Amino acid sequence: MSTTDEAILVAALVLGIVLALFASIYLWEKWGKGSRLEQRVDGFFDRLSDLFDR
Number of domain units in the chain:
1
Query: How does pLDDT run across 9-38, given as a tens digit for each residue?
Result: 999 999 999 999 999 999 988 887 788 888
Helices and strands (DSSP H and E) totals, the chain: 2, 0
Structural domain containing residue 23: 3-53
Which whole-number Å values give the CA distances from 8 to 11, 22, 28, 41, in the listed order? 5, 21, 30, 37
Tell me the pLDDT band of 54, cut-offs 50, 70 and 90: low
In this prediction, residue 37 carries a pLDDT of 84
- Going 17 to 18 to 19 to 21, the CA torsion angle's sign is positive
Tell me the pLDDT band of 1, cut-offs 50, 70 and 90: confident
Assess contact for 19 and 26: CB atoms under 8 A: no
